[in-house]
Amino acid sequence: MNPLEPPDIHHLNAAQGWLGLGDCQSAFDELKLINPLMRSHPDVLAVRCDIFTAAMKWPAVVTVAWALVKLVPDRPRGWVQRSFGLHGLKQTQQAFDLLLPAARKFPDIPAIPYDLACYCAQLGKLEEARRWLDQSYEIGDATILKVAARQDADLAPLFVNASEG
């Protein structure tokens, strides 16, 4: 798909700026200024999904992320966000099931095994969670991921009796 052009790209950048400032409503309002024909552009949908995620509007996250997966299946973002939204809806098994194929499709994206580890930990599959988390350490920055894992409530079951993460 072609990149967005001015003025739409400017509105998209402004929406990202508002989101970075924590102002979801202004970010969403900025997206409304984009040409209606370009609102289904993957870059616009990705920012819309980010806004809904920040606002914890899980049904909307899932809906927009599904559209991203269908529109640009070779981009990992939609896959990750769709499962994150499902997990937010307490549909963690479905989040895991739908993200699992992405682990093979995007073997170099550490967020995917990391999120799979989170879902497994929440489902009580601690050994599998540990394997996924270790895989995320292998392909990502292990130092950063280990710090994040220790602070992630979804992974807390892994660290209850563990001395190392």
**164, pLDDT greater than 80:** no
pLDDT digits (tens, 9 = 90+) for 12-66: 999 999 999 999 999 999 999 999 999 999 999 999 999 999 999 999 999 999 9
Read out DSSP for 90-153?
T-HHHHHHHHHHHHHH-TT-THHHHHHHHHHHHTT-HHHHHHHHHHHHHHS-HHHHHHHHHH-G
**pLDDT at residue number 163:** 52
**pLDDT at residue number 162:** 60
pTM score, whole prediction: 0.93
Q: Which among 76, 79, 88 is positioned nearest to 52, based on CA atoms?
A: 88
